[in-house]
């Protein structure tokens, strides 16, 4: 039976980063992670964990004002942020294809702004507030690679009754 999604709860920023570390450790060249959630839900916090999982020593800041930052570790991380873009044409004109279809790992914050022009195969991560410190994560795979990744991440949910602890 195929997994259609995986739901997890994080009880703290540290647990959110722990999820990111797991994703980063499992990441392969060409992986694309699309992060969706309102301001303050933890998109950058999750990305910081992914960077740590990729053995990146540099701190992953939100690239809101530069659209994209490149960080280097086990694999290159292309951290993109579409927050400041209002029109789909702006996203298409950025010339991100070399990154999105390259050998690095792409993390796209505010991905909902560009879903129609971003690659169809990806892991969509929907993040929502549960409380001041808790967040819910719904991971939705699109494509065989991401189904495999979800299968590898599933023990996180099964081995912990509270999510990521």
Mind listing the pLDDT tens digit for each residue in 64-102? 556 778 889 999 999 988 876 665 666 566 667 777 888
Q: Give residue 15's Cα distance to chain centre.
A: 15
Residue 11 CA to chain centroid, in angstroms?
Answer: 18
- Hey, what CATH topology would domain 7-158 get? Rossmann fold (3.40.50)
For the chain, the farthest-separated pair of C-alpha atoms sits apart, in whole angstroms, at: 45
User: Tell me: the pLDDT tens digits for 18-69?
Assistant: 999 999 999 999 999 999 998 889 999 999 999 999 999 876 766 555 677 8
Where helices occur in 83-143 by DSSP H, the ranges are 88-92, 97-100
When computed from its CA atoms, the radius of gyration of the chain, rounded to whole angstroms, is 15
Q: Are 100 and 117 in contact (CB under 8 A)?
A: no
d(CA 31, CA 123): 8
Residue 160 in this model has a pLDDT that exceeds 60: no
Q: How many residues does the chain have?
A: 165
What are the helix (H) ranges across the chain?
A: 13-26, 43-53, 88-92, 97-100, 144-158
What is the number of other CB atoms lying within 10 angstroms of the CB of residue 160?
13
């Amino acid at each position: 039976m195929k997994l259609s999604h995986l739901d997890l709860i994080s009880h703290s920023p540290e647990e959110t980063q722990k999820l990111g570390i797991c994703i980063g450790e499992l990441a392969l060249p060409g992986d694309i992670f699309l992060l969706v959630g309102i301001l303050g839900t933890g998109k950058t916090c999750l990305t910081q964990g992914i960077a740590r999982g990729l053995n990146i020593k540099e701190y992953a800041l939100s690239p809101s004002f530069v659209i994209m930052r490149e960080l280097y570790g086990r694999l290159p991380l292309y951290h993109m942020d579409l927050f400041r873009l209002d029109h789909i044409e702006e996203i298409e004109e950025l010339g991100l294809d070399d990154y999105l279809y390259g050998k690095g790992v792409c993390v796209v914050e505010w991905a909902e702004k560009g879903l129609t022009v971003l690659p169809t195969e990806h892991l969509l991560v929907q993040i929502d507030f549960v409380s001041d410190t808790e967040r819910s994560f719904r991971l939705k795979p699109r494509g065989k690679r991401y189904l495999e990744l979800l299968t590898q991440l599933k023990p996180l949910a099964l081995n912990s009754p509270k999510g990521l602890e």
